[in-house]
Structure 1
Amino acid sequence: MGDNRSFLQNSFLTFTRQIANIAIGVLLLVVLARILGPGRQGKYSLITLLPTVLLTFLTLGINTSTIYYVSKGEVELNTVYNNNILSGLFLSFISMMVGAVVIYFFSDHFFNQTPHVLLYFCLLSLPFMFLREFFQTVFQGLQDFKLYNTAMVINQFSILASIVLFTLVLGWGLVGAISAFISGNLITVMFMIRALKKQHKLKARLHSFSFAYFKKSVKYGLKVHISNFASFLNYRIVIFLIGYFMVDSAVGIYVTAMNIGERLTIFAASFSNVLYPKVASCESEEERNRLTSVVSRNILALSVSLAIIGALVAKDLIVYLFGGEYRESAGLLQIMLPGIAFLSVEKILSNDIAGRGKPELNMYLSIFNVGFNFILNVFLIPKHGLAGAALAATITYFVSFICKAFMFRIVTKEPFHRFLLIKKEDIRLYKRAAMKVKLRRHA
């Protein structure tokens, strides 16, 4: 019972911090949209997407294996910390070299309207992005979700504050927005180093790199890594394709709808981040099945409800926040929302499967999704423009959800209704929680 309470407390803590993260993130989107406009915002999205793709591609799964091995307590924590620092710096250097080659040879194809010097400049963010990624998974493996979520909030807030300084105060425009992206990641890494040193007594001993742990972490992590990278491409490849088939302003319109839609996955993200290390550390198969089933069916009900509400208010909300230039984003968001609701549940099921030590199952489906989504976008974008891209996303998310539900059913032997349909006991749980809140207010 204590473990369940801990899981709920961590999930609720993550949820409340995610609320702050989303609020800052939406404000960041609004500031960027208002200052840059669709054209320059599209350029910003394409420029910052390049290091993000390189980060996702070249982590080698070390971030995911960190969660897995730290949560199991199989590796000395300081060894993980030291390895992650050196691995992060080395892989970021490789990423910068790869990025420079991509810009030099392929920028005219995918970034033809984007200043190439800013593409090179944005590569400077990679060392901080790698260290941020590798440090935050240490927090996640330790199930220290207070610091984990605080770091996420600091990342969003520091980027926002830097954008206000560099664009509004100093008037640097697109250069200022890219500078803010770099400085935001730097500030986050500095906070994480201080927190890991102060709260968990970790010290950097860069001479004590463990090749044995590195080999072990990559061997496990690569299975998850291929799946994560394929999933990332599945969500982001459309941005490159829109940039290829259309203009940068179209990228800005689409990215606005996509970013708002992704904010609606808050419930899934809150529980999913806590679920992975929890499932990995569980000893009872029955407890794993029960825990994920409860989370999955409730997230599905909440996500569908949010999608319906979002569809109803999308037009007025987006025009109010971002301005009339982004009116088309509202229609795109309405097309995406059904798929995003199913994506929320798929993330829960994916983390459960990975936490059981079967990440290769997620990998196979993710590879299929990339090919399927690519074909849909190549067919639909030239014919239907941005609406075609949004429709491709929803179709891909729904097909992926159906496949993942069958996977989970095969792995766990749980009936579909147990992890997909809300039950009376869940309603009673909500009533008890509401009653407790009411009693506390009157106390």
Structure 2
Amino acid sequence: MSIKGKSLKLNAFLNMVRTFMGLLFPLITFPYVSRILGPVNIGKINFSQSIINYFVMFAMLGVSNYGIREAAKVRDDKKRLSKFVKEILILNLISSLIAYIALFFVVTFVKSLSNYKNLIFIFSTLILFTVIGVDWLFYALEDLVSVTFRSCIFQVLSLACLFLFVRKSDDYMNYAVICVISSVGSNIFSLFVSVRFVDYRAKVKLELKKHLKPIMIFFFMTIAMTVNSSIDITMLGFISGDKQVGLYSVATRIVRIVTAVATATTVILPRLSYCYAQHKIVEMKKVIANTLYTNICFVLPAIVGLFIISKPIILILSGNEYIDSISILRVLTPTVLFIALSNLTGSHLFMAIGKEKYVIYSIFSGILLNIALNFFFIPKFGGFGAGIATCLTEFSVCFIQLLLARKFFSVLSLKPFCQFLIATLLMGIFIFYLQKIKISYSYSASISIICGAFIYFLILFVIKNETVCKILKWRKK
């Protein structure tokens, strides 16, 4: 379990596979589901999920990132690792019980949630399944093989269930169950697999109190992240209703898919934590730089391409009922870049060096801005207004975090960024004129994605971009 032999490239590849499989489910199913269920039922499902997200957040207490950081430090010592995992798991189970009690009272006394009781009950299983999954342990050990395998199995199972049990608009409850299985079904088995690394039967003196202070810091950070990512849908649901949530959810889902794919190679928290504990600051900076180059390499063309082909993408995935989602998607496309950058600094760098407070400051300031902007834009523009608010909020969070992390980017070179911009610009011009050809939306989107990607990477290869050359060399090995 030592750092030797662990490959960042292999872990990045496995995380990309897991991310791809996790996104393949909605990519394949969403065109089908959005047409079968319609904007109103899609809105109900996403609104219910946004409510449960707050309780999952409380149950987890920010343990995911804290667990990765601290477990990575002791992963070479099975006894210390076992003690740590048991302590964290017990704390999580206690917080889960409190979360379920709080959820019961909220659903009982908040009358506006009465129409969502059944959906909320289904999604409430996410609280327990997320806690017992201990995925953070496998990330800390940089052992993503088993996690990826289990996740892929449940994605395939969920896909089969979808076409069997979701056939009419009234089947949105079935879809909610399948979403749960798809998201955290594999977590049921994760606890059993973890016995390879953790001795749960060993008698150790549990020290729960020592984790409370650092966990609370991570908890406040998680609160900020969850509220920041859910407040738009929650406020939109209360102010504009289920249909606007449905239209907005289509656009945000596509943006999240693109963001997840573009940032799937960012799995450096355990490596950064290990290097920082060993005082290897120069190595840390190199890891950060290489990860940033890779992120920008994928993010820039994704943003430009998504903006240009927003119309065919929306119509293919969701149909004519969601035509108003096109403008929402376009205004949200820049958030792919902002989220990618803040993910690198906030969710990896700051956590590795124990500067979680920077994340809290930046995101809480973003939340205040988000709420203010939502109150101003949503009543006037509905889902499009929520998109404007979200884009401006993500920019502010990203800007603050980059400002605070600037000393860790001292080894960056301007040359790769210029190469990415040139290749993206030429690719964008090609795709833009391709859209003027009168062909079906499916052909237009497919040709744009395939040819656009080919042109982009061909240009980078010709001008000998270092990031692309490294990817090709690793693939050859």
Q: CA deviation at 1:69?
A: 1.5
2:79 corresponds to 1:55: no
Deviations 1:74-107 (A, max 9, x none): 7723223433443333222211111111222224
Check conservation: 2:57, 2:223, Cα contact below 8 A.
Answer: yes
Q: C-alpha distance in 2, partners of 1:185/1:21?
A: 8
CA 1:21–1:118 in structure 2 vs 1: closer, same or farther (change >3 Å)? closer
Secondary structure of 2:393's counterpart equals helix
User: What does residue range 133-144 of structure 1 map to in structure 2 within 5 Å?
Assistant: 135-144=134-143
Deviations 1:307-363 (A, max 9, x none): 101111121122112211122222211110012222111101111121112111111
Tell me the amino acid that sits aligned with residue 234 of structure 2: F
Matched positions, count: 426
2:368 corresponds to 1:371: yes
Q: CA deviation at 1:244?
A: 0.8
2:86 corresponds to 1:104: no
CA 1:267–1:316 in structure 2 vs 1: closer, same or farther (change >3 Å)? closer
Q: CA deviation at 1:232?
A: 2.0
2:234 corresponds to 1:247: no
Q: CA deviation at 1:275?
A: 0.8
Secondary structure of 1:365's counterpart equals helix
Q: C-alpha distance in 2, partners of 1:18/1:419?
A: 29
Check conservation: 1:47, 1:119, Cα contact below 8 A.
Answer: yes
1:264 to 250, 254, 258: 258
Q: CA deviation at 1:151?
A: 4.0
Q: CA deviation at 1:48?
A: 2.3
Deviations 1:381-426 (A, max 9, x none): 111221111111111111221111111115x372776699467998
CA 1:345–1:436 in structure 2 vs 1: closer, same or farther (change >3 Å)? closer
Check conservation: 1:62, 1:218, Cα contact below 8 A.
Answer: no
Identity %: 19
Check conservation: 2:416, 2:465, Cα contact below 8 A.
Answer: no
Q: C-alpha distance in 2, partners of 1:201/1:401?
A: 36
Q: C-alpha distance in 2, partners of 1:16/1:117?
A: 33
Secondary structure of 1:143's counterpart equals coil
Deviations 1:90-139 (A, max 9, x none): 2222111111112222241xx47x3334334432442123222xx10011
Check conservation: 1:231, 1:369, Cα contact below 8 A.
Answer: no
Higher mean C-alpha displacement, 86-95 vs 180-189: 180-189
Higher mean C-alpha displacement, 275-284 vs 416-425: 416-425
Report the structure, 1 or 2, having the larger helix content.
1
2:294 corresponds to 1:298: yes
Q: C-alpha distance in 1, partners of 2:199/2:377?
A: 52
Check conservation: 2:345, 2:402, Cα contact below 8 A.
Answer: yes
- Counterpart for residue 122 of structure 1: 123
Higher mean C-alpha displacement, 248-257 vs 45-54: 45-54
Higher mean C-alpha displacement, 378-387 vs 259-268: 259-268
- Counterpart for residue 180 of structure 1: 178
Deviations 1:118-164 (A, max 9, x none): 334432442123222xx100111111122233344445444444433
- Counterpart for residue 26 of structure 2: 25
Check conservation: 2:30, 2:317, Cα contact below 8 A.
Answer: no
2:336 corresponds to 1:353: no
> Normalization by structure 2: what TM-score?
0.81
1:76 to 65, 74, 80: 80
Q: CA deviation at 1:202?
A: 3.6
CA 1:419–1:81 in structure 2 vs 1: closer, same or farther (change >3 Å)? farther
Q: CA deviation at 1:55?
A: 0.8
Deviations 1:178-215 (A, max 9, x none): 33344446631232133223xx254544x957541x33
Secondary structure of 2:382's counterpart equals helix
Q: CA deviation at 1:373?
A: 0.8
Higher mean C-alpha displacement, 123-132 vs 341-350: 123-132
Secondary structure of 1:357's counterpart equals coil
Higher mean C-alpha displacement, 144-153 vs 393-402: 144-153
User: What does residue range 25-44 of structure 1 map to in structure 2 within 5 Å?
Assistant: 25-44=26-45
Secondary structure of 1:168's counterpart equals coil
- Counterpart for residue 191 of structure 2: 193
Q: C-alpha distance in 2, partners of 1:211/1:181?
A: 36
CA 1:201–1:166 in structure 2 vs 1: closer, same or farther (change >3 Å)? same
Tell me the amino acid that sits aligned with residue 306 of structure 1: A
Q: CA deviation at 1:19?
A: 2.0
Q: C-alpha distance in 2, partners of 1:79/1:374?
A: 41
Higher mean C-alpha displacement, 155-164 vs 292-301: 155-164
Q: C-alpha distance in 2, partners of 1:327/1:28?
A: 19
- Counterpart for residue 382 of structure 1: 379
CA 1:227–1:195 in structure 2 vs 1: closer, same or farther (change >3 Å)? same
Q: C-alpha distance in 1, partners of 2:350/2:89?
A: 28
Check conservation: 1:292, 1:419, Cα contact below 8 A.
Answer: no
- Counterpart for residue 232 of structure 2: 238
CA 1:194–1:165 in structure 2 vs 1: closer, same or farther (change >3 Å)? farther
Q: CA deviation at 1:429?
A: 4.2
Q: C-alpha distance in 1, partners of 2:11/2:63?
A: 23
